[in-house]
Amino acid sequence: MKRWSRRSFLAASVAATAGPVLAAPAPKKAPPRKDEPRTGIDVVIVGAGAAGIAAARRLTAAGRRVALVEANDRIGGRCVTDTTIFGVPYDRGAHWIHAPEINPVAKLAGETGLDIYPAPPGQRIRIGRRYARESELEDYLANLVRANSAISEAARGRADVPCIQPLPKELGEWRATIEFFLGPFGCSKDLAEVSAFDFARAAERDHDAFCRQGFGTLLAKLADRLPVQLSAPVSAIDWAGRPGVTVETARGRIAAGAVIVTVSTNVLTAGKIRFSPELPRRHLDAAARLKLGSYDHITLELPDNPLGLRPDELVFEKSVGRRTAALFANASGSTLCMVDVAGSFGRELAAKGEKEMVAFALDWLGGLYGSDMRGAVRRSHATRWNDEPWVLGASSVAAPGAQPSRRVLMEPLGNRLWFAGEAAHETLWGTVGGAWESGERAADAVLKTFGRR
């Protein structure tokens, strides 16, 4: 059976005073005092997630000297693999490698020696305590296609509308399941909060892959030789100075010719970084209208496969409301099963804490499979991305009428300040591949302005 994806189913300056802005550094001098900026840097990149890593790779390949600063004590942003919680690779954030045939990260995987393999075809739907029959699956898929088509048709209109508005009334008993799949599961927000224009412009994600060692491991491998400074949150960026910019971090100040900011839209609007001068209202409004949704994993270690599921099997339920989830079983052949919660329900559940999240997952699975799951679980963990201080959510989602905001975020400021990240991509928003492409675009724009070394 054809697999329906999330989209379908779903230096002071570096120059001598007489030289250009990004000229060669002055001869070596004594280390600067703590209150003096570190010099000799061409570009500062704020954030070592996919966009920041991509930008740094592009710039260093062109001979430019970069400072890649990261607030956390790890790289990867919203794409991180943990091996300490369960003793096996566990993707706490992004896990699906969408469209591997065109995904820039997947294309680079060959240089890492990691194992990239295709996602298995098909997924199953649980109806009560049984799986949907073939005729029921066909009915569901037909209604899903009808819903997708209705949103695409609405996006051809002159006015943007929430994705929930054009859904056909004929979806009947499948409506709640379709709303969950297209909204929370596919976009991290309820369809009432998602722009039909933005939804329709998203690139098809019909084919997926996984990294057996973890998607975050793959990203970290691609950053192996980059000059990353961890635990260095940025507090201020002065982008009006001459001849370049000054970036204030917890580890000191850095002067450079340009800066690429890759933090999430929620971090931007939270005011965690002070800009001088302040960012134009146009950019702040764009970030506010691209707020992050909510998406979390409730991960259970289930030895001996008590659910009888295959590796990397995806299971949904025929739901009757928004209190539902998706099950991703036996990740990469391990005993880890992820119960994914998202959208408004996921946000409310995550706010109650990990204990409540795990309790929901156990009750939900018990209701579907007719057994008490508590005795089957060895260890458990729940992510809470909305509370991660340097992320504050899942992926950017354009509010109705806000699709043009993505292009606004791509606009440079004074040819010194660029923004990058999945929010600054019009068709691959919400994906690691989109963040990577955005980082490369920003780096190319910097090189176009200042040239290659």
Distance, in Å, from the CA atom of 251 to the CA atom of 34, rounded to the nearest integer, reads: 9
Residue 301's closest CA among 380, 239, 232? 380
Question: What pLDDT score does 38 carry?
Answer: 60
Q: Is residue 241 over pLDDT 50?
A: yes
What are the structural domains of the chain?
43-76+217-291+396-450 (3.50.50.60)
Identify the DSSP state of 125: E
CB count in 10 Å sphere of residue 179: 24
Question: What pLDDT score does 243 carry?
Answer: 75
Question: What pLDDT score does 3 carry?
Answer: 38
CB count in 10 Å sphere of residue 3: 16
Q: Is residue 163 over pLDDT 70?
A: yes
Residue 39's pLDDT band, with cuts at 50, 70 and 90, is low
Distance, in Å, from the CA atom of 351 to the CA atom of 357, rounded to the nearest integer, reads: 9
**Average pLDDT of the chain, as a whole number:** 91
Residue 93's closest CA among 362, 291, 429, 388? 388
Higher-confidence position of 363 and 8: 363
Q: What is the mean pLDDT of residues 18-43?
A: 52
Model pTM score:
0.90
Cα→Cα distances 210→11, 107, 244, 345, Å: 42, 13, 41, 27
The rounded percent of the chain whose pLDDT value lies above 70 is: 91
Cβ 328 vs Cβ 417: under 8 Å: no
Q: Is residue 66 over pLDDT 80?
A: yes
Question: What pLDDT score does 37 carry?
Answer: 56
Q: Is residue 35 over pLDDT 80?
A: no
Distance, in Å, from the CA atom of 147 to the CA atom of 174, rounded to the nearest integer, reads: 11
Q: What is the mean pLDDT of residues 76-103?
A: 96
Q: Which string of DSSP letters, residue by residue, matches 208-238?
A: EEEETT-HHHHHHHHTTTS-EE-S--EEEEE
Strand-pair partners of 46: 69, 261
Question: What pLDDT score does 390 carry?
Answer: 96
Higher-confidence position of 317 and 12: 317
The pLDDT tens digits of the residues spanning 319-363 come to 999 999 999 999 999 999 999 999 999 999 999 999 999 999 999
Q: Please provide the distance, in angstroms rounded to a whole number, between the alpha carbons at the two ends of the chain.
A: 52
Q: Residue 48: how many CA atoms within 13 Å on its side-chain side?
A: 29
Distance, in Å, from the CA atom of 355 to the CA atom of 273, rounded to the nearest integer, reads: 32
Residue 29's pLDDT band, with cuts at 50, 70 and 90, is very low
Q: At what angle do helices 215-222 and 50-61 cross, to 10 degrees?
A: 20
Cβ 50 vs Cβ 79: under 8 Å: yes
Q: Is residue 33 over pLDDT 80?
A: no
Lowest average pLDDT, out of 4-18, 61-75, 85-99, goes to 4-18
Question: What pLDDT score does 18 carry?
Answer: 32
| Cβ partners under 8 Å of residue 333, min gap 6 | 212, 311, 312
Residue 105's closest CA among 60, 46, 188, 49? 49
| Cβ partners under 8 Å of residue 281, min gap 6 | none
Distance, in Å, from the CA atom of 266 to the CA atom of 263, rounded to the nearest integer, reads: 8
Q: What is the mean pLDDT of residues 6-21?
A: 34
Residue 314's pLDDT band, with cuts at 50, 70 and 90, is very high
Residue 256's closest CA among 14, 18, 15? 14
The pLDDT tens digits of the residues spanning 166-221 come to 999 999 999 999 999 999 999 999 999 999 999 999 988 778 999 999 999 999 99
Q: What is the mean pLDDT of residues 381-394?
A: 97
Distance, in Å, from the CA atom of 417 to the CA atom of 377, rounded to the nearest integer, reads: 49
Cβ 47 vs Cβ 263: under 8 Å: yes
Evaluated on CA atoms 95, 98, 100, 106, the torsion sign reads negative
